[in-house]
Structure formats: C-alpha cells, structure tokens
Amino acid sequence: MTVAMLADPIRRASRRRRRVLTALALLLVLALVIAALTGAVGLSPRVLLGEMPAPMDAYVWWQLRLPRLLAATLIGAVLAASGTAMQGLFRNPLADPTLLGVASGAGLAVAVWIVLLGGMGGQFGLYGQFVAGFLGALFITVVVFTLGSRAPEGGSLTTLLLAGLVLNTLAGAAGGLLAFIANDQQLRQLSLWGMGTLAHSLWPGVIAALIVMPPTLWVLARSSHDLDLLQLGELTAFGAGLNVIRMRRGVVIATALGVGLSVALVGIIGFIGLLVPHTLRLWLGPGHRLLMPASMLGGALLLVAADTLARTLASPAEIPVGLLTSIVGGSYFLWLLLRRRFH
C-alpha cells in the first residue's frame, strides 16, 4: 500500500470540507449582496463600491443597512452554532436554545432589567441588557443541564423537553406579569425589543456583537473535535483523553454568551438553532468538524435571507423576523415529531 493511498481518505474528507464551506460562504455573500440592495429604500450596486449616487444612500447604507446585515450575519451564525453545540452536548438532535428555554430565560432577565431595575437608557442601559441576557441564559442552561444529566438513561429526552416546556411557560408568565406592572415607557421599550426583529440594529449594539460574538464562535469551532468525542458517552470520551468537565464548561459559557447577547440585542428569534444543524447534519453527517463551521455559515445565510424577506414581503412595513423563523421552524419541528412517532 502506497503512502498516497494511505492519505487518501483524510485528503478526501478535507477536500469535501473545503468544497462545502466554500459553497456556503459564496451563498452567504450572494445573500448579503441581495440583502444590501433591497429594502424599503433600494440601493444601487454602486453603493457597495463606495459611491453614493442618491442623497439618502449614505445614510441608508451606513446607519441602517450595514449594521443590520452585520447583526443578521453574526446572530444567525451564533444561534445556529449554539444549537449545534447544545445538540452535541446533550447528545440529542432536538436540543435548541429556544426549545430548552435558554432564550426565554435570557429574555426574562432582560425584561426584569428593563422593568424592575429601571433599565437605564443610553449605552450603559444597553450593556446592562447584555449582561442580564447572558446571566439569564447561563442560569437556564445550567438548570436544564442539571435536570438533563440527572435523568435516568433513556428518559433524558423527555426530561429535557419537559424542562424546556416548563421553563418557557414560567418565563412567559413572568414576562406577562412584568408587562402588567410596567409603565408606558417601559412597555414600549419591552415591546420594541421583545418581538424578535432586527429592525432596531444600531451601531452600539452591533459593535458589542462584533466584540463578543467572534470569540464565541471561535470557542465553539474549536470544540468541534471534543464534541465529536463526547458522542461516545462521557466515560468513553474520558478514556479517549477528553477533559469532559472543562470542555462542557467552555461550551456552556460560550453558548450562553452568544444566545444571551443575541436575545438582548434583537429579542427571541426561534428555531434557527434547531433548523440549521438538523438540515445540515442530514446532508453532511454528524461530525462536528464540518458541521460546526457549516452551521455558522448556514445560520448566517438563513437569518440574512429571512430578514430580507421580513423587510420586503410587506414593505414598507416589516414583519418581525422571529415570527417568520418560528412559523417555518415550528412546522419543521412538528414534522420531525410526527415522523419520529410514526416511523
């Protein structure tokens, strides 16, 4: 057997990885270009080259469109990567930040910040919102994780989904209570933020996302091999040299940071974390070394495309993109459940 033959499967896998990721990246660029040029105010392609033919173009591009595209790209990537990581961590294809209540927990914490703690306006208020979102997401992730790992063998999927259901219900009720006691100005702030829309993506928030999210994505991408090992079960993975506790802590903090910040920025945009890894896994297989970066690109692609639709379908009005993803994602999830049951 020659050296060339020995190296062949490895080389084939890395060639495939390059091809898939390049294709997704090109699709994402294409979606970004289309998204940049369409909207309530159409832009000429020349804007992308730095020229501003119409008087309003500079404002629309620099203050509205560009921050929004950046937010969609980053948040889509983070939500999908968090979904992939949670599915890997729970060894369960149905884990998702929205389904397990992590996003609701972050949302509730942000609502508490706005209503009970006064939610100061300005930069400081915005960053308080981020911290609240992160802490809420972290808390729920830890709760869900404790519940999930305590469940007996085989019962863990039911426990997880029930825990998510309960946490979502509780967070929903608490959120309603907060809205009830909020004053008019807080209520307006709550409803502007809570609908799951990218319409309010302004530079301060986007800059925070630009600082926090790339490192989060980097941590998750680096965990790919460890997530693969974890699929063998904790004991076996330990036997293969994995420090399960340290790896899990890193992934939990990274997903809580990503999801918490996303929720604080744009409210709850559901099901991207379920839809993207699920679809890509059917196509690419379960190995995280390809699945994780592909999910990031796929999530960004999906949210950029969905947001463009949300902006244009009822133009000049906007449909909250969270509603769109929930309708599509919810139907998909229902279909998954039905297929599991009747397979």
Chain contacts with other proteins (rule: CB under 8 A) = 1, 5-6, 8-9, 91-93, 153, 228-229, 231-243, 281, 285-287
**277 vs 255: CA distance, rounded Å:** 15
For other proteins, the closer CB: 91 or 200? 91
For other proteins, the closer CB: 176 or 285? 285
For other proteins, the closer CB: 9 or 50? 9
Minimum distance of other proteins from residue 161's CB (angstroms): 14
For other proteins, the closer CB: 282 or 317? 282
Minimum distance of other proteins from residue 309's CB (angstroms): 31
Tokens of 331: 């139907």
Minimum distance of other proteins from residue 248's CB (angstroms): 15
Minimum distance of other proteins from residue 251's CB (angstroms): 16
For other proteins, the closer CB: 176 or 239? 239
For other proteins, the closer CB: 118 or 239? 239
**182 vs 190: CA distance, rounded Å:** 9
Minimum distance of other proteins from residue 238's CB (angstroms): 6
Minimum distance of other proteins from residue 4's CB (angstroms): 11
